[in-house]
Amino acid sequence: MRPLARKLLALFVVAKAVRTPPPERERIVAAGEPARHELLIAGLLVLTAAAAAVSVVGYGLGWSLQAYGGALAAALALGAVALVLAAEHLVVTEELEEPYPPEENPEASGDVAAIVRESGSRITRKRLLGGAAGLAGTALGAALVAPAVSLGPVFDTSRLQDSPWRRGTGLVDEQGEPLSADDIDQGPFYTAFPEGGDMKSIAAPLVLVKLDPARISVRPGWAPEGIVAYSKICTHAGCAVALYRNPLFDPTEPGPALVCPCHYSTFDPAAGAKVLFGPAGRPLPQLPLAIAGDRTLRAAGPLSGPPGPAWWGVRSA
Amino acid sequence: VRLEDPVAFVDRRTSSAPFLKKALRYAFPDHWSFLLGEVALYAFVVLIATGVYLALFFEPSLSETVYRGSYAPLRGATMSDAYRSAVDLSFSVKAGLLMRQTHHWAADVFVAAIVVHVLRVFFTGAYRRPRELTYLVGLLMLFLALLEGYLGYSMVDDLLSGMGLAIGYAVALSLPFVGGNLALLIWGAPYPGDDAFESRMFIGHVFLFPAILATLMGIHLALVALRHHTQFRGPRATERTLVGVPMFPGQAPRSLGLMAATAAVLFGLGALVQINPIWLWGPYETWLGTNGAQPDWYLGWLIGGLRLVPGFDVTIAGRTVIPNPFWGGALFPLIVLGVLMAWPWLERRLTRDGRSHNLLDRPRDAPLRTGFGLGFLTWVVLVFFAGSSDRLFVWLGLDYVTQIWFWRFAVWVIPVLVGVVTARTCRGLRQVEAVEAERAAARLS
């Protein structure tokens, strides 16, 4: 019995030693009052878990976006309330006073400068070496950046003026079917493309409208039977000129006009697409039209100017 | 488990216990307006989380495909894989639409929170020495956030994307000397550009810009911590002594609560309030456009700038020198950024106050700053309103052309009036305070 009792006693002593808390130390965080609203906050956390679970179940069951997404948002909101309440009532609330860091550290700053200066004290040809290092750095930088030129034809801005429109190019619709003069009625507007050309090119799309030939004041020869064709890309900022303001009541409404929906540049189709209002700085380029023997529409020449928005050095008309 | 053990484990390997102790007791001055930057930070966290999810489904490719998905009105339409995958992830991926809408809302809130944060910093003079760098980095982030958001909705390749990109291309083209070259470099070919342009937008939006933003955010926060927060004057809060709640335990649950609240609002909006319904816009082609298309709110001031400039290109001898979009689309935002960046030094020169400041001003304490700031803000806000003049026409029936002519003058006159009246009001308020203080002193004696 005695050895067993001794062993038990030893075990007790060891356990006691392990359990003994470390010696008391001064508190860093103020003790404060006992916490409040513990049950409320615990309840909110349980509700958070419940809402999150509902969201997962709803996602799994294929509930509507509003239902399971709303449950997720509710879970986050409940969690937020729990956390804010915890900050106010659960944890120690205290205010610290702390000195701002010094405005400057002159001694250390001086040391830093001295370290740099003294490190180079053996160098006698500072300018020469500095210049050479600068040269090496610049050239290396240029060599590393040079491959970026492959991104695009950066030195060849002439490509911006590419146009598929030449004398004789046929006009087709969005499906690629040739456009006939008989397809064009007065009232709506039509979009046309070059036959066999890249439809997506900024120079390709045209906007066609038919006007009373007597009203056409600029280049009437380019508008057979009153059909005028302009580049559909606004000369201001490159949007498609997709609005046609055709009056229903002549005396009170303004005359027909092509309008860009981005910044409302307004062009007069009867006057060579002259700018009536808005920020565009030049008219839409016009395409001279001709009607072939089979009544299909063809270009009688190239566009009157570079299509689309302008850039430094481009022809301005 | 004794708490000492894991802490000791970390300290033995990093020797970081002294730093951790300091970090836990870092003091945050207690004012609601200091949480605006945190809202931006947490919106960014939501953006990263939802953005990673979206990137797992989005296919950044302009290859053409015929839509055969679940949204009937678009069936049979030819479109790019980019647009098709964005529509598919909205309709066919469970939670896809929630993530997309939350992401879009988060972007709008992110920029809004930064703007309000900048206003707070500006009108309290928090940007003054020694915190000019923090302010400059913040402004840089604001403008990068605008670009990042623009790239995000541009790469979806719906009709709204395309109209925005066409304008971006025109603004790039309009830069003096280098516009044509720069646009070709970025787009790879004349508009709509090389097919690789889609990949360029994608890598920019999901990697390059977020990485730069995150880096700048780290620098911004480090700069704040190194110099500590500014604070409003108080009985114990002085230029030399900071009074605040410690990071732990006071600030941590509060800030986490703000994170959860921000996420709750963003996911709530994403779940309940439709935003950018791309399936309604349809696919973009160069020749298509629609009326009433509105970009995200943070681009409204640029739309206004582009719309207000009268119709002229600067030309010399039949050659365009400065195309019109340069003024409203490039110069205007650069002036706004430049003036905001230069302001701390401009103010220092005007007020001859080059001292270090840890205490904030109330707006009335600095009539020059408050007057100038409110006038400048009015200028930008009025241009923003001019950008919605087509909406005002639809909602209120105000004639569009008349409105534009009104705004063309109003944006110059009203800001000056606002600035002068504000500065005078500030001076008046201070005089009233001075008189009251005198009376109180007289009563005491």
Band (B282; pLDDT cuts 50, 70, 90): very high
Nearest by CB to B311, from A91, A155, A280: name it.
A280
What is the pLDDT, as a whole number, of residue A12? 66
Q: Which two tokens stand for residue A250?
A: 């002549």
Return the amino acid letter for A228: V
The average confidence (pLDDT) of chain A is: 92
Distance of CA B152 to the CA centre of its chain: 14
* Plot region of B241 (φ>0 → left; ψ -120 to 50 → alpha; else → beta): beta
Query: Packing angle between helix B367-387 and helix B96-123, nearest 10 degrees?
Result: 150
Angle between helices A65-85 and A38-61 (to 10 degrees): 160
Q: pLDDT-derived band of residue A223, with 50, 70 and 90 as boundaries?
A: very high
> What's the confidence (pLDDT) of residue A28?
87
CA A230 to each of CA A192, A278, A288, B47, B342: distance values in angstroms, whole numbers, following the listed order: 10, 18, 9, 43, 46
Give a three-class secondary structure readout of chain B.
CCCHHHHHHHHHHHCCHHHHHHHHCCEECCCHHHHHHHHHHHHHHHHHHHHHHHHCCCCCCCCEEECCCCCHHHCCCEEEHHHHHHHHHHHCCCCHHHHHHHHHHHHHHHHHHHHHHHHHHHHCCCCCCCCHHHHHHHHHHHHHHHHHHHHHHHCCCEHHHHHHHHHHHHHHHHCCCCHHHHHHHHHCCCCCCCCHHHHHHHHHHHHHHHHHHHHHHHHHHHHHHHHCCCECCCCCCCCCEEEEEEHHHHHHHHHHHHHHHHHHHHHHHHHHCCCCCHHHHCECCCCCCCCCCCCCHHHHHHHHHHHHCCCCCEEECCEEEECCHHHHHHHHHHHHHHHHHHHHHHHHHHHCCCCCCCECCCHHHCHHHHHHHHHHHHHHHHHHHHHCHHHHHHHHCCCHHHHHHHHHHHHHHHHHHHHHHHHHHHHHHHHHHHHHHHHHHHHHC
Which pLDDT does position A36 carry in this prediction?
86
CA-closest candidate to residue B299, choices B403, B143, B176, B86: B143
Helices within chain A (DSSP H only): 2-19, 38-61, 65-85, 106-119, 126-145
| pLDDT tens per residue across span B64-105 | 999 999 999 999 999 999 999 999 999 999 999 999 999 999
Gap from A23 CA to chain B (nearest CA, Å): 14
- Inter-chain CB proximity B242 and A98 less than 8 Å: yes
Does pLDDT of A112 surpass 80?
yes
Return the closest-CA partner of residue A224 out of A165, A166, A284, A171: A171
* Cβ burial B378-413 (10 Å sphere, 16+ → b, else e): bbbbbbbbbbbbbeebeeeeeebeebbeebeebbee
Cβ distance A205 to A240 under 8 Å? Answer: yes
Burial of B370 (0-12, 13-18, 19+ CB in 10 A): buried
Cβ pair B325:A103 closer than 8 A: no
Q: Which residue has the tokens 């008189």?
A: B435
**Mean pLDDT, rounded, for A139-162:** 94
Give the one of A96, A191, A238 whose C-beta lies nearest to B27's C-beta.
A96
Amino acid A14: pLDDT: 62
Chain B nearest CA to A118, separation (Å): 28
- The separation between CA B424 and the C-alpha centre of its own chain, rounded to angstroms, equals 30
A35 contacts: CB under 8 Å, gap ≥ 6: A89, A90, A91
Mean pLDDT, to the nearest integer, of B260-284?
Answer: 97
Share of chain A above pLDDT 70, in %: 95
More confident residue, A93 or B313: B313
Residues from chain A that touch B270, judged by Cβ atoms under 8 A, are: 69, 73
Where does the pLDDT of residue B8 fall: very low under 50, low under 70, confident under 90, or very high at 90 and above?
very high
Task: Name, in order, each residue with C-beta under 8 angstroms of B237's C-beta and a sequence gap of 6 or more.
Answer: B29, B231, B243, B359
Residue pLDDT, tens place only, A57-101: 999 999 999 999 999 999 999 999 999 999 999 998 889 999 999
Q: How many beta-carbon contacts under 8 Å exist across A and B? A: 305
Answer for the pair A239, B287: CB distance below 8 angstroms, yes or no.
Answer: no
From the CA of A115, how many Å to the nearest CA of chain B?
Answer: 23
A1 against A314, higher pLDDT: A314
A14-28, B190-204, B289-303 — which one is most confidently predicted on average?
Answer: B190-204
The model's pTM: 0.93
Pairwise CB contact (< 8 Å): A310 & B319: no
The mean pLDDT of chain B is: 96
Task: Measure CB to CB from residue B227 to each of A101, A261, A277 and give the nearest one.
Answer: A101
Quick: pLDDT tens for B208-237. Answer: 999 999 999 999 999 999 999 999 999 999
pLDDT in tens, B377-389: 999 999 999 999 9
* Contact yes or no for B49/B263 (Cβ under 8 A): no
| Rounded CA separation A282/B320 (Å) | 10
Residues of B in contact with A29 (CB under 8 A): 249
Four-residue CA torsion sign, B99, B105, B111, B116:
negative
A226 has pLDDT over 60: yes
CA B282/CA B84 separation, integer angstroms: 10
A38 to chain B, minimum CA–CA distance in Å?
15
Largest CA distance in chain A: 130
Q: What is the ipTM of this complex?
A: 0.94
Q: Indicate whether A228 pLDDT > 80.
A: yes
To which residue do tokens 């702390």 refer? A98
- pLDDT, tens digit, for every residue of A160-206? 989 999 999 999 999 999 999 999 999 999 999 999 999 999 999 99
Residue among B367, B362, B359, B125 nearest B234 (CA)? B359
Q: Is there a contact between A286 and A292 (Cβ–Cβ < 8 Å)?
A: no
**Crossing angle between the packed helical segments B389-396 and B367-387, to the nearest 10 degrees:** 70
Cβ neighbors of A49 (< 8 A, separation 6 or more) are A75
Residue A233: enclosing H or E segment and its boundaries? Answer: none
B321: nearest CB among A149, A159, A312: A312
Asked if residue B82 lies in contact with residue B198, where contact means CB atoms within 8 angstroms, the answer is yes
pLDDT value at residue B15:
96
Average pLDDT over residues A228-247: 95
Query: For A203-215, how does the pLDDT look when each residue is reduced to its tens digit (9 = 90+)?
Result: 999 999 999 999 9
Q: Which of B154, B275, B285, B320 to mutate to test the interface with A (most CBs of A within 10 A)?
A: B320
| Cα angle: B384, vertex B385, B391; to 5 degrees | 120
Record: contact B166-A90, CB cut-off 8 A: no
CA dist B315 to A206, B274, B305, B331, B384, Å? 25, 45, 21, 18, 28
Give A245's strand partners: A257
The edge-to-edge listing of strands for the beta sheet with A190-194 is A171-172, A190-194, A206-210, A227-231, A286-287
Helices and strands per DSSP (H, E), number in chain A: 5, 12
Which residues in chain A have their CB less than 8 angstroms from residue B183's CB? 160, 311
